[in-house]
Amino acid sequence: MNLSHFDLNLLRSLDVLLAERNVTRAAERLHVTQQAASSALHRLRQHFDDPLLVRVGRQLEPTPLASSLVAPVREALLAAQTALDTQPTFDPGKARTTCRIALSDYGLVVALPHFLRLLTRTAPNVRCIVEQVTMRSFDRLDMGDLDFVMSAHDPRLYGDHRPGQRIRSEEMFKDDFVCVVDPAEVDVSKGISLATYRKLRHNSAAFGEGVTTIVERAWAASGYEFDLAVTAPTFAALIYMLPGTQLVATTQRRLANTIAPRLGMAITECPLEVPWLQENLMWHERTDNDPAQEFYRATLRLALRELPAVER
């Protein structure tokens, strides 16, 4: 195709139309009239010789061709945006950029405060948008809606929601797992035996269908059956729900050390072999050489050196 015969502004319209699947909402995002958005869709249909969006019931659904265009169209726009936004240097003291990062609640409690303390000192005008890791986080990273995801490195944990081939990954730090209980309800003054661990009722973090945690994988690998009393959407909630119960939470050591003492909860070694957690920082290869993104990665590396050592 000769690019001189195609209005590249239509790519932006196509991207938004495919995302919204609604002409009115697309017009609002594009800051144009509904008539202009409809005209753009008409021109796109003519170009591709395909309806692109067809009415199914009361909503619009993409055709097979339209579905195949979602990723390459977004990638083309992001590549262009990256080229336009990239500066030869990055001055953190003057920059007014935005850093968008997704973390688990474990990362929010354990790692993020160190990062923000250093970031606010070195780049006082940078805005940081933080969200929790979900099943959609890696798609959002692929599509340019996030700059970084920091989460467990093992792709098997994410099922079908794992990072794509163009996602870079770098180890940030490691942590192991401990048991946390209410000492008024469960005596762990001499530690906790495997037999006791198996008899107790457990709580567990649950992040959605197809996503598992390291603890859940360890339970499955052990061949034992465990009595699961509660599931919660965050690791921190597992500790906060313990007071006054005979539940046991199997959580990361640094998270337990941060929260459990404040609640009067006891921390003891886990009698079941649970693999260590390795937290990785992930980003899309398109931002490899972006000075701002390089600064954020370097800042996070430096900040996480402040993490206390894991002592058993």
Tokens matching residue 56: 């199914």
* CATH code at position 232: 3.40.190.10
Count of structural domains within the chain: 3
**For every residue of 103-141, which 3-state class applies, written as one string?**
ECHHHHHHCHHHHHHHHHHHCCCCEEEEEECCCCHHHHH
Residue 159 lies in a domain: yes
> What was the pLDDT predicted at 85?
66
pLDDT digits (tens, 9 = 90+) for 237-246: 999 999 999 9
Question: With the C-alpha atoms ordered 182, 184, 187, 190, is the resulting torsion angle positive or negative?
Answer: positive
Query: Do 181 and 170 have their domain in common?
Result: no
Q: Which of 92-96, 139-143, 212-216, 263-267 has the highest mean pLDDT?
A: 263-267
Q: Give the domain range for residue 26.
A: 3-85
Residue 2 pLDDT more than 60?
no
Query: Do 287 and 169 have their domain in common?
Result: yes
pLDDT digits (tens, 9 = 90+) for 56-109: 877 888 898 988 888 888 777 777 776 666 666 789 999 999 999 999 999 999
Q: Could you tell me what percent of the chain has a pLDDT over 90?
A: 56
Q: Could you tell me what percent of the chain has a pLDDT over 70?
A: 95
pLDDT digits (tens, 9 = 90+) for 28-44: 888 888 888 888 888 88
> What was the pLDDT predicted at 20?
85
